[in-house]
Amino acid sequence: MASDNIAEQMASKQRDISVASFFEKNRHLLGFDNKRKALLTVIKEAVDNSIDACEEADILPEISVELIDLGNDRYRVIIEDNGPGIVKKQIPPIFAKLLYGSKFHKLSQSRGQQGIGISAAVMYSQLTTGKPVRIKSKVKGKPEAHYYELHIDIAQNKPEIIKEETMGWEKEHGVRIEMDMEASYQGGVQSVDNYLKETAIVNPHITIIYTNPKADQTIFARAIDVLPKKPIEIKPHPYGLELGMLMRMLKDTDARTLQSFLTNDFSRVGPGTAKQICENAALLPSTKPRDVSREMAEKLMEGIKNTKIISPPTDCISPIGDVALETGLKKEINAEFFCSVTRPPSVYRGNPFIVEAGLAYGGEQTAEGSITVMRFANRVPLLYQQGACATNKSVVQTKWKSYGLSQSSGSLPQGPLTVVIHIASVWVPFTSESKEAIAHYPEIIKEIKLALQDVGRKLGSYVHKKKRIHAESKKRDYIKMYIPHVAEALQELIGDSVDQEKVKELLSSILEEERGELQSVKVVNDEYDEELAKIGKEPKESQTTLGENEEEQKAPGAEEK
């Protein structure tokens, strides 16, 4: 009797946990661990979405980001784009319903993936300030813009419309988002500033107008007027499937038989392959997809595993391109040597991907300490969790010693080097929902390492050449040191008819002729943008001059008297 009562009591407490309330309790999974990171995450999600939308609509993106300090660690974030806009009925779910979006259901290279990002940002804003998110959207050709103020109904994961109206907007089309949130604004590598800068570097086709909380405006101007090759949407490849996804696809499909489900909803599966899969799974090709049970789905997975299927098409990936990558690096770093490579496409678990790597060596970079690694996934800068990232592992496992850098085993190499790694894929595997580190798939690590070896070899031959030139110039300097002595002694030996200056000049030219022209390794970098390079760097601590220090040291003594 008692136990029944307890079960009843428990049952009264058991209910659906909405996605929204789950994430409310686990916000760190989405990148809202602390105030500083939250600000970055919000801007990142909004900007990524804006760029994706513009590109999809063939519009050269122009994005304005504005931060306003409201005091008490509260900031207003305003992001406005010139994208295609969002149709009225989609505005509430896109911004106020978690896991709602277009990107999760299709496979194509895009910045955002899961459709969690922007609504999570809205939720964070709501949780920390209680204020609704303000959205203005205008679709091309429409006379007026739609304006919404939205809350998320956290218990039910659905939008709650606070205010809704139409208004005029001088813009032809676009979206403007405004939200207030608890945040902390700081400089440094993991700052909003640096994120926007790195975004500009790998996306030379966009313009970002950024106004920071101190009301300083920076314009990251568009460098090329061509949109990147549009990524092609592909159907998933069977090898990339997970059970849950397969079951959802079985539920959603329009196909009437397993056979047609396999051929229609997947890439690289023809009727023959479909039959083969069914045979290996011991399922009838005529089975209705809706009738497939969990056990049958597991059999189907097994069947896929045991069937040989051609790799997915790889022309769906749009890399940055080695030239554009190098140009971006040159703007950022005043180095002596740059090189970059775009690897041929490869596949992990049925997902095509491309790895690109670039590096900048020497110049104004400090020779002490570890190298700098800049990471990008689908043109989005990754600023957190470098240590957990596949790129980091690949850099550590690459033997930089043979390329002229020092490196102790199991750590990053040392030297004046910046390495850029970009992975583009229809589905970039991150280690967590906050999309900060790329998962350690062996295929991906292998490709990154191959890319690093490629640029590393070029670096190696440059570093060795530089060492040779350095040694040669040291030798010449050494020889030249003694030329005046030869001239002086000859004058002492022969008399004043000897012109010392002429002897020095002739000996120097004989030396040049004998040893050949000395190649120079000076920094020649026309692309370098000093202002840009400063953005996102840790502000230097204000230095006290020597005189001031002395005064400070004297002060205690004076007090004692």
Partner 1 sequence: MSVGKQIKELAEGIYNSILKKKQPKIESPLRSLSNVRYDEKEGYFQLIGKMKERNLTVSTIKTFAQTLRMMALSKELIEKEDIATKREAYYVSKNWNEARFSEQPESDTVMDDVEAMLGVNREQIGFIPEEKGGDIAGKLIVVDKDPDSGKQIKIDCTKMGSGAYSIPSSVEQLKFETNAKFILAIETAGMFQRLVKHNYWRKSNCILISMGGVPTRACRRFIRRLSDDKNLPVYVFTDGDPYGFGSIYRTLKVGSGNAAHINKFFCVPRAKFIGITPDDIEHYKLPTHPLKDVDLKKIKDLIKNDPFIKHHKEWQKALTKMAKIKVRAEQQALAKWGLNYVIDKYLPDKIKDQKTWLP
Going from the C-alpha of 203 to that of each of 129, 427, 554, the distances in angstroms are 33, 19, 55
What is d(CA 236, CA 495) in angstroms, rounded to the nearest whole number?
A: 91
Element (H, E) at 193: helix 192-202
State residue 163 phi and psi, 5-degree precision. Answer: -150, 145
Which of 406, 509, 544, 549 touches partner 1 by CB under 8 A? 509
Cβ nearer to partner 1, comparing 232 with 490: 490
Contact status: 482 vs partner 1 (CB under 8 A): yes
In the block, tokens 């005043």 appear at 334
Amino acid letter, residue 218: T
Provide CB contacts within 8 A for 192, sequence distance 6+: 39, 40, 43, 65, 67, 185, 212
With contacts defined by CB under 8 A, name the span among 299-307, 326-334, 405-413, 474-482 that binds partner 1: 474-482
Q: State whether the Cα torsion 277-279-280-283 is positive or negative.
A: positive
Q: Please calculate the CA angle 236-238-242 and round it to the nearest 5 degrees.
A: 90
- Side-chain-side CA neighbours of residue 469 (13 Å): 12
Contact status: 510 vs partner 1 (CB under 8 A): yes
Residue 456 CB, nearest approach to partner 1 (Å): 32
Would you call 133 helix, strand, or coil by DSSP? Answer: strand
Residue 375 CB, nearest approach to partner 1 (Å): 45
Which of 507, 525, 532, 535 touches partner 1 by CB under 8 A? 507
Cβ nearer to partner 1, comparing 51 with 507: 507
Contact status: 496 vs partner 1 (CB under 8 A): no
In the block, tokens 């304006």 appear at 147
Is there a contact between 327 and 305 (Cβ–Cβ < 8 Å)? no
What is d(CA 299, CA 287) in angstroms, rounded to the nearest whole number?
A: 13
Which of 245, 489, 518, 524 touches partner 1 by CB under 8 A? 489
Contact status: 517 vs partner 1 (CB under 8 A): no
In angstroms and rounded to an integer, the radius of gyration of the C-alpha atoms of the chain is 31
Cβ nearer to partner 1, comparing 368 with 513: 513
Residue 186 CB, nearest approach to partner 1 (Å): 53
With contacts defined by CB under 8 A, name the span among 107-115, 345-353, 422-430, 478-486 that binds partner 1: 478-486
Contact status: 11 vs partner 1 (CB under 8 A): no
Which of 68, 301, 490, 521 touches partner 1 by CB under 8 A? 490
With contacts defined by CB under 8 A, name the span among 15-23, 38-46, 250-258, 473-481 that binds partner 1: 473-481
Contact status: 493 vs partner 1 (CB under 8 A): yes
# residues near partner 1 by CB under 8 A = 22
Burial, 102: exposed, middle or buried (Cβ in 10 Å; 0-12, 13-18, 19+)? middle
What is d(CA 409, CA 196) in angstroms, rounded to the nearest whole number?
A: 33
With contacts defined by CB under 8 A, name the span among 57-65, 102-110, 344-352, 506-514 that binds partner 1: 506-514
Ramachandran quadrant class, 534 (left: phi over 0; alpha: psi -120 to 50; beta: rest): alpha
Please name which of 205, 163, 186 lies closest in space to residue 62, comparing C-alpha atoms.
Answer: 205
Residue 484 CB, nearest approach to partner 1 (Å): 9
Cβ nearer to partner 1, comparing 219 with 489: 489
What DSSP state is assigned to residue 236?
A: P
Residue 521 CB, nearest approach to partner 1 (Å): 20
Beta-carbon count within 10 A of 129 CB? 16
Cβ nearer to partner 1, comparing 366 with 478: 478
Per-residue burial over 149-161, b = 16 or more CB atoms within 10 Å of its CB, e = otherwise: bbbbebeebbbee
Beta-carbon count within 10 A of 498 CB? 15
Which of 106, 256, 475, 554 touches partner 1 by CB under 8 A? 475
Residue 468 CB, nearest approach to partner 1 (Å): 14
Which of 172, 242, 492, 548 touches partner 1 by CB under 8 A? 492
Is there a contact between 373 and 395 (Cβ–Cβ < 8 Å)? yes
Cβ nearer to partner 1, comparing 143 with 516: 516
Which of 506, 518, 524, 555 touches partner 1 by CB under 8 A? 506
Which of 498, 500, 521, 533 touches partner 1 by CB under 8 A? 498
With contacts defined by CB under 8 A, name the span among 29-37, 66-74, 411-419, 498-506 that binds partner 1: 498-506
With contacts defined by CB under 8 A, name the span among 146-154, 344-352, 383-391, 487-495 that binds partner 1: 487-495
Contact status: 274 vs partner 1 (CB under 8 A): no
**Contacts with partner 1, residue ranges (CB under 8 A):** 475, 478-479, 481-482, 485-486, 488-490, 492-494, 498, 503, 506-507, 509-511, 513-514
